[in-house]
Amino acid sequence: MKITLKIWRQKNAKAKGKFVDYELNEVSTEMSFLEMLDALNEKLIISGGEPIAFEHDCREGICGCCSLYINGQPHGPEEKTTTCELHMRSFKDGSTITIEPFRAKAFPVMKDLIVDRNGFDKIMAAGGFVSIDAGSAQDSNSILIKKKNSDEAFNSATCIGCGACVAACKNASAMLFVSAKVSQFALLEQGKVEAKERVVAMVNKMDDLGFGNCTNTYACEAECPKGISVANIARMNREFLSAKLT
């Protein structure tokens, strides 16, 4: 198949970026999206051009690095799919595909399609952990946890921190990410000891970094490649209000 690519090129964080058009022929429908970008970069290098900078690591939908805005959607058109899991069979022959970095004040562009998502690391460092001595691994029945709570905690923990929720939100809110990280601890006994300090510290850090407030449009949940529920945001708000009142 033959495709036209409109790709955001930006030399560095201070440079002014622009879209540049590229044509790529003989694209296999079995290629992953990142393999297609590899093929384009090989073509650019052979012709003496500057390869396109984009981020990736696991290529298995686990790490969240492959955060691209494709045709107006974080990670592209497929539901619950990261960019590295996306394949070219999702596009038609002759398609024009627009690729750009996630757009958010708290995610500044570093080069081309790479953004600085260090803000998420700072939020986690503010309180996204259990610092108390929880002891060695417990026997399975020694700490009783309701199955509903354990399931919800596990589902929250599947968040890979890719930032699709921020990119999808018109306010660039990180509340889905933060609430998932709050929930994965708040629902379990080991995390409840520091629950109040954790939620206040993480929410305050999120605000300090310039992420916006929740828009209640559920765009974050719709675009999340792991299907993280907005119910986590309601839980975080309750946790935060309770912590501030007490």
Q: Residue 184: give its domain's CATH number.
A: 1.10.1060.10
Based on the fold, state whether residues 127 and 219 are members of the same structural domain.
yes
Query: Are residues 215 and 127 part of one domain?
Result: yes
According to the model, what pLDDT value does residue 135 have?
Answer: 74
Encoding tokens for residue 41? 């970069």
**For residue 86, which of 95, 76, 74, 71 has the smallest C-alpha distance?**
76
> 216-239: per-residue pLDDT in tens?
999 999 999 999 999 999 999 999
d(CA 51, CA 70): 18
What would you measure as the largest C-alpha separation in the chain, in angstroms?
A: 64
**Spatial CA neighbour of 107 closest among 63, 62, 158, 164:** 164
Is 27 in the same domain as 86?
A: yes
What are the residues whose beta carbons fall under 8 Å from the beta carbon of 94, sequence distance 6 or more? 1, 2, 3, 4
Q: How far apart are CA 65 and CA 79, in angstroms?
A: 17
Q: Give the pLDDT of residue 140.
A: 66
Q: Are residues 80 and 179 in the same domain?
A: no
Q: Which residues of the chain fall short of a pLDDT of 50? A: none
Mean pLDDT of the chain: 95
Range of the domain at 19: 3-110
Q: What share of the chain is helix, strand, coil (3-state, %, to 5)?
A: 40, 15, 45
Strand partners, 8: 19
174-232 per-position pLDDT tens digit: 999 999 999 999 999 889 999 999 999 999 999 999 999 999 999 999 999 999 999 99
Question: Of 136, 184, 141, whose CA–CA distance to 161 is shortest?
Answer: 184
Same domain, residue pair 127 and 100: no
In 3D space, the residue among 218, 224, 217, 175 whose CA is nearest the CA of residue 67 turns out to be 224
The pLDDT value given to residue 42? 97
The CATH number of whichever domain residue 29 belongs to comes to 3.10.20.30
Question: What is the distance between the alpha carbons of residues 79 and 166, in angstroms, rounded to a whole number?
Answer: 17
Q: Does residue 122 share a domain with residue 217?
A: yes
The tokens 């889905």 sit on which residue?
A: 176
pLDDT at 158: 97
* Residue 56 shares a structural domain with residue 91: yes
Q: Residue 135 burial (CB < 10 Å; 0-12/13-18/19+)?
A: exposed
Residues 106 and 124 in one domain: no
The verdict on 53 and 157 lying in the same domain is no
Residues 48 and 17 both lie in one domain: yes
Same domain, 238 and 125: yes
Q: Are 58 and 169 members of one domain?
A: no
Residue 207 confidence (pLDDT): 97
Domain count, the chain: 2
